Amino acid sequence: MDWDGHGGSPAVPVQWSAPPVAEPALDLPDRRRGGRSRTRRAADRARRHTSPWLNAVGILAVAVLVGVCTAGGYIMFSHGGATGATADGSVAPPPTPHDISNRQVDPAPLTEAEIFPGATVAAAGYQVVKTQAAADCKAVAVGEPVKVLTLANCTQAVRATLTSPDKTYVVTAGLLNLDSQAAAQQANEGLRTAVGAQKGRFTGYEVGGPSVVFGQAATQLGWDVRGHFLGYCVVARADGKPLDGTDAGARQIIDDLVEKYLIGTVLQARVTPASRAGSPAKPTPKKSGN
């Protein structure tokens, strides 16, 4: 395995190990199944279909790729925004979206308060254990993914370790601030290649307690890009048992935290600030760390 030279060999376990297995049916948006070649063809078709609109406003998530402890098995999700309606049932005109296609037009830095404002996040109520903000992406990955994110000019990583509402899973989720939408797309492809080739992985944020399993058991990874940001999620079982592609709970967590929360709520609030539905109504203090 390639490694960037910092701190010796990357920690084990990696985010692949089990052979591809049949995937359970989940109620996820526009789910496409298949091996890597079919996924890439689906992604190419999606890009050809949406590129002009993406380049214009940069507000549609492109893909979530889930590396599930398998040697190159991926699942792609695509999602679109909901249509708003007024009280009388008529469709309200959409507000003018804020451009998040690059840092020049969207210079406001990410903050822990923006992404993790309260003790819980997302509709399901994931418990925030500890948050962290860093000035680069070197802490969030090991191996080739670090190089990919550096090439994308990552200037911020804001992440948190959380637990699932039933305490079965421990999770690290966060947003990365990249240079532009084009850089995010390139990072998306580069990460797909690097993770699929077993040349590195995203790491969990170890803060003690159940998060120690990040360094002990196989994990499940998902990420998505929108505008000049990349949202990601690393999931492990709190009991240390390895995850595989049949774990519906882990996959639901990735959809909840990446698609619905980081992409669909936090970044949507940048695009249309008044639309931040689902954020905690009464933020309460939580731990922050470096």
Query: pLDDT of the chain along its 290 residues, tens only?
Result: 444 444 443 444 445 333 333 434 444 333 333 334 343 444 444 444 433 333 333 333 333 444 443 333 333 343 334 444 455 667 777 678 999 999 999 999 999 999 999 999 999 999 999 999 999 999 999 999 999 999 999 999 999 999 999 999 999 999 999 999 999 999 999 999 999 999 999 999 999 999 999 998 899 999 999 999 999 999 999 999 988 777 899 999 999 999 999 999 999 999 997 644 444 434 444 455 65
- What pLDDT, on a 0 to 100 scale, did the predictor assign at position 153? 98
Distance, CA of 269 to CA of 246 (rounded, Å): 33
Q: In terms of Cα–Cα distance, which of 75, 115, 94 is closest to 229?
A: 115
Prediction pTM value: 0.69
- What pLDDT, on a 0 to 100 scale, did the predictor assign at position 48? 42
Q: In terms of Cα–Cα distance, which of 253, 174, 171 is closest to 210?
A: 171
Helices (H) and strands (E) in the chain, counts: 6, 13
**Cα angle for residues 193, 194, 198 (degrees, 5° grid):** 115
**CA–centroid distance for 18 within its chain:** 22
In degrees to the nearest 10, what's the CA dihedral of 54, 47, 229, 129?
130
- What pLDDT, on a 0 to 100 scale, did the predictor assign at position 11? 40
Distance, CA of 249 to CA of 124 (rounded, Å): 12
Query: Measured between alpha carbons, how far is residue 115 from residues 261, 268, 284 in Å?
Result: 9, 11, 13
The count of C-alpha atoms lying within 13 angstroms of the C-alpha of 229, restricted to the half-sphere facing its C-beta, is: 30
Angle between helices 181-196 and 144-151 (to 10 degrees): 170
Q: In terms of Cα–Cα distance, which of 63, 34, 24 is closest to 247?
A: 24
- What pLDDT, on a 0 to 100 scale, did the predictor assign at position 56? 30
Q: How is residue 54 written in tokens?
A: 């993406």
Distance, CA of 165 to CA of 45 (rounded, Å): 37
- Whether the ω angle into residue 13 lies within 30 degrees of 0, i.e. cis, is yes
Q: How is residue 29 written in tokens?
A: 């948006």
Distance, CA of 245 to CA of 69 (rounded, Å): 7
- What pLDDT, on a 0 to 100 scale, did the predictor assign at position 242? 87
In three-state secondary structure terms, 289 is: strand
Q: Where are the domains of the chain?
A: 26-78+99-289
Cβ-based neighbour number of residue 237 at 10 Å = 21
Strands in 152-196 per DSSP E: 156-163, 169-177
Q: In terms of Cα–Cα distance, which of 270, 90, 257 is closest to 169?
A: 257
